[in-house]
Structures are given as structure tokens and as C-alpha cells.
């Protein structure tokens, strides 16, 4: 990739960032870090009202916000004159929104004021998220309507999975979409030898929340227990629903098989990936889960649900495993995978083929940036 770093100034706006926890937060950080090798980058994010120890190789500007919890932040960029000044001083020639919240609303309006293109990336299936959080359909429909208004306010729509793009079309998006997959931080360990476990080691790693469909895994494992198959299920990560899942495990009679480890980082995180026989990722909410790619770096195949964003990366029984969206089918698939060691190990080796690095992702975004900047310049020249 060749680009004049000084000539390209990218302002990234997101409602989800560090020190918050989640896939979007990680994806935006890793993307901005890699992009900073090729452009001047400034990331505009909400304040989380707590200490952030992350070191950033790019500028980070915090917006006024209201905190409802550690991970639930409502940004107030329109009330923040300093944030507006920071953006004007940075003087971007392109704006990139990563979430369709209040930060995107502000970014769209500033893009028009500055006369620069705005591209929008959507990471999340929001209807599924809000159906779980809001009690009435009309409330969900209202939120989706506002999301689509912000999406349609951009010049270009980008998504991390084809299913996400089609879902946005169903919501009412008027923009054609381009799919650009997330990258992954971990490189495949080609010399890695999978350890032999005394019992089958199953893993989930990520935000511990109902919208991640962890309850689906637990209910499936209760069915697996009835088959007499020995297993442990390690749930790694933190989240507000941890207590709920502990109670559910006890209610299902599998609490002796399920272990909650909280958040881990660095080498300890890698050890969980290395020691796992199978990564359970039945999320409907995620469009392109980074954890699935990370697991594959350590020869751990993933089991996902058919028709989800995660399943788009996988060829069933070749680079991962795909199940129908029922707990019985998921349990049956787990049983087959665990009892067929040769096939499981082969698919684990192939799982690295799902990998895309951030350099590749950034190169695709740089191409989009150039296209949109050129379009804007042509429009200005024709006026």
C-alpha cells in the first residue's frame, strides 16, 4: 500500500471504544492502529467516565456523555464545543463512522459542513440487540428507524458481512453496500501442536452477555450431558450477565461442567485458545466475530449457526463447523465433532484459512477512501 500519510487525514467516529468491552471496540482500535501507518488518524469517541490505560498510536478525542454502566454510554457530541473544535483543527479529508449512534449523527452533519465524504461501517445486527433490550416492538422499530436515517446520511455504506448488508436493506437502507471483513491480530502458529485433553474442552471467549447467545450453548450442553459425553465449558470474559449464566448453568444441572474465568489478556488468553478442542460461537448478534479468527490461529475450529454473519467465513466440515439454529442440532453437532478426532483436528488446521489480517482490511478501506474523495472533488469541480 502506498499513500502519502500527511495528505490523508481520517476522522473515525464511534459510540463503542476502549475502555469499553466488545468486538466493535477491539475492531475499531486495531483498524485505527493499522491505518495510522498510512494516514493521520483521529478517533472521536464517548467518555467512559473511568480511567483508560490504553496507549494509542493515534489521536483520541473524548465526547461529553452519560454513563449508564461500564459498557453503556450515551454520547453527547452536539453539546461538546471542544469536540467540534478538535475536529475542525484536525481538518479531515474523510470521515469514517463505525456505529450508527449519536457520534454518527454528529459526524454526518459535520461531513456536510466541511464538504468531505462520510463512509459508514456497520458491525452489528441491531434489531436482534434491541429486541432483547426493549419490551415493545414499536420501540425497537423506532430505534431502527433512527439507525437507518444515520446510515442513509453517509455517502458510502460498508458492512463486515453480506447478511448484515441484506438486513440493513430490509430495515430501509437506500445505500448499496460493500463487504469488507474485519482483520485479526493473531497470526497462525504453524508449528503449534494441539494438546491432548483428558475431557473435551469447549470454549467461549468474549463479552458475557445474553445477546451473544451463550444461553443457547448452555442449553445445548445440557442435552450433551444427557448423552454421557465428558466435557468442560470455559466461559472467558466479563459482562453484566455473568450471574445470570451461572444461575442458568445450575438450573440446567451442568454447573460442575461450566467454569467462568472473567476477563483474561495476553498469554493467558492464548492458552485458552490453545487448550480448546472446539470454540462455541452461536451468536446471531455478531456479524463477523474476531474471536472465531483468533481461535483458528491456534488450530481451534469454531461451531457457528447457519445463516449468521460468522457462518459466511466457514465452509462446513472444512474450515469450521455449521449447525442448524436449534439446541438439539447444536448438541448433536458438538457430539459428532468431539467423537471424530481426525476430522476435528483437520478442520482445526484449516481454520487458519478464515484469517484476514488488518493490513488487508486497511488496503480495502484506503481504496474506498480514494474513491469517495475523488467523487467529492469531481462534484465540487462541477458546481
Which string of DSSP letters, residue by residue, matches 195-206?
A: PPPSSEEEEEES
Q: What mean pLDDT do residues 43-62 have?
A: 95
Q: Is the pLDDT of residue 3 over 60?
A: no
Predicted TM-score (pTM) of this structure: 0.87
Q: What is the reported pLDDT for 356?
A: 86
Q: What is the reported pLDDT for 352?
A: 87
Q: Cβ of 335: how many Cβ atoms within 10 Å?
A: 17
Rounded CA-CA distance 383/378 in Å is 9
Rounded CA-CA distance 347/301 in Å is 6
Place 218 in a pLDDT band, splitting at 50, 70 and 90. Answer: very high
Look at the alpha carbons of 373, 375, 380, 381 in this order and tell me if their dihedral is positive or negative. positive
- What does the mean pLDDT of the chain come to? 92
Q: Is the pLDDT of residue 266 over 60?
A: yes
Q: Which domains does the chain have, with CATH numbers?
A: 9-183+357-382 (3.40.50.2000), 200-354 (3.40.50.2000)
Q: Cβ of 317: how many Cβ atoms within 10 Å?
A: 17
95-116 residue pLDDT tens: 999 999 999 999 999 999 999 9
Look at the alpha carbons of 145, 150, 153, 154 in this order and tell me if their dihedral is positive or negative. negative
19-29 residue pLDDT tens: 998 889 999 99
145-199 residue pLDDT tens: 999 999 999 999 999 999 899 999 999 999 999 999 999 877 766 666 777 778 9
* Residue percentage of the chain with pLDDT more than 90: 77
Strand runs labelled E in 237-316: 258-262, 278-281, 302-305
User: Is the Cβ–Cβ distance between 98 and 121 less than 8 Å?
Assistant: yes
Q: Coil, helix or strand for 347?
A: helix
Q: What mean pLDDT do residues 124-151 have?
A: 88
Q: What is the reported pLDDT for 142?
A: 94
For residue 221, with 0-12 CB atoms within 10 Å meaning exposed, 13-18 middle and 19 or more buried, which class applies? Answer: buried
User: Is the Cβ–Cβ distance between 336 and 315 less than 8 Å?
Assistant: no
Q: What is the reported pLDDT for 355?
A: 83
299-337 residue pLDDT tens: 999 999 999 989 999 999 999 999 999 999 999 999 999
Q: What is the reported pLDDT for 268?
A: 95
Q: Is the pLDDT of residue 281 over 60?
A: yes
Place 284 in a pLDDT band, splitting at 50, 70 and 90. Answer: confident
Q: Is the pLDDT of residue 6 over 80?
A: no
333-354 residue pLDDT tens: 999 999 999 999 999 999 988 8
Q: Is the pLDDT of residue 213 over 70?
A: yes
Amino acid at each position: 500500500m502506498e499513500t502519502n500519510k500527511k495528505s490523508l487525514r481520517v476522522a473515525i467516529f464511534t459510540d463503542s471504544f476502549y475502555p469499553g468491552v466488545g468486538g466493535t471496540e477491539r475492531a475499531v482500535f486495531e483498524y485505527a492502529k493499522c491505518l495510522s501507518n498510512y494516514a493521520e488518524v483521529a478517533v472521536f469517541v464517548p467518555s467512559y467516565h473511568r480511567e483508560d490505560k490504553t496507549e494509542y498510536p493515534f489521536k483520541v478525542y473524548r465526547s461529553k456523555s452519560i454513563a449508564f454502566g461500564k459498557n453503556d454510554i450515551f454520547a453527547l457530541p452536539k453539546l461538546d464545543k471542544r469536540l467540534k473544535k478538535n475536529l475542525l483543527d484536525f481538518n479531515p479529508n474523510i470521515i469514517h463512522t463505525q456505529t450508527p449512534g449519536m457520534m454518527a449523527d454528529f459526524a454526518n452533519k459535520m461531513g456536510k459542513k466541511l464538504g468531505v465524504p462520510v463512509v459508514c461501517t456497520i458491525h452489528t445486527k441491531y434489531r436482534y440487540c434491541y429486541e432483547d433490550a426493549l419490551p415493545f416492538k414499536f420501540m425497537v422499530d423506532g430505534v431502527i428507524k433512527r439507525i437507518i436515517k444515520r446510515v442513509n446520511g453517509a455517502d458510502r455504506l460498508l458492512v463486515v458481512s453480506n447478511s448484515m448488508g441484506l438486513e440493513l436493506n430490509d430495515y430501509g437502507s437506500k445505500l448499496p453496500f460493500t463487504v469488507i471483513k474485519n482483520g485479526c491480530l493473531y497470526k497462525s502458529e504453524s508449528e503449534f501442536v494441539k494438546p491432548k485433553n483428558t475431557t473435551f474442552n469447549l470454549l467461549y471467549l468474549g463479552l458475557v452477555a445474553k445477546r451473544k447467545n451463550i444461553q443457547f450453548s448452555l442449553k445445548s450442553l445440557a442435552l450433551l450431558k444427557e448423552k454421557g459425553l465428558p466435557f468442560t465449558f470455559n466461559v472467558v470474559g466479563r459482562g453484566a450477565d455473568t450471574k445470570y449464566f451461572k444461575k442458568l448453568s445450575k438450573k440446567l444441572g451442568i454447573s460442575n461442567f461450566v467454569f467462568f474465568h472473567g476477563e483474561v489478556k495476553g498469554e493467558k488468553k492464548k492458552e485458552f485458545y490453545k487448550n480448546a478442542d472446539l470454540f462455541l460461537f452461536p451468536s446471531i448478534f455478531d456479524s463477523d466475530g474476531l474471536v472465531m479468527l483468533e481461535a483458528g490461529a491456534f488450530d481451534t475450529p469454531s461451531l457457528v449457526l447457519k445463516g449468521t454473519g460468522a457462518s459466511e467465513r466457514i465452509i462446513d466440515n472444512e474450515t469450521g463447523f455449521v449447525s442448524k439454529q436449534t439446541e438439539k442440532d447444536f448438541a448433536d453437532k458438538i457430539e459428532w465433532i468431539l467423537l471424530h478426532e481426525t476430522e476435528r483436528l483437520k478442520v482445526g488446521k484449516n481454520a487458519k484459512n478464515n484469517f484476514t489480517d488488518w493490513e488487508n482490511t486497511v488496503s480495502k478501506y484506503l481504496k474506498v477512501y480514494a474513491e469517495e474523495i475523488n467523487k467529492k472533488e469531481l462534484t465540487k469541480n462541477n458546481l
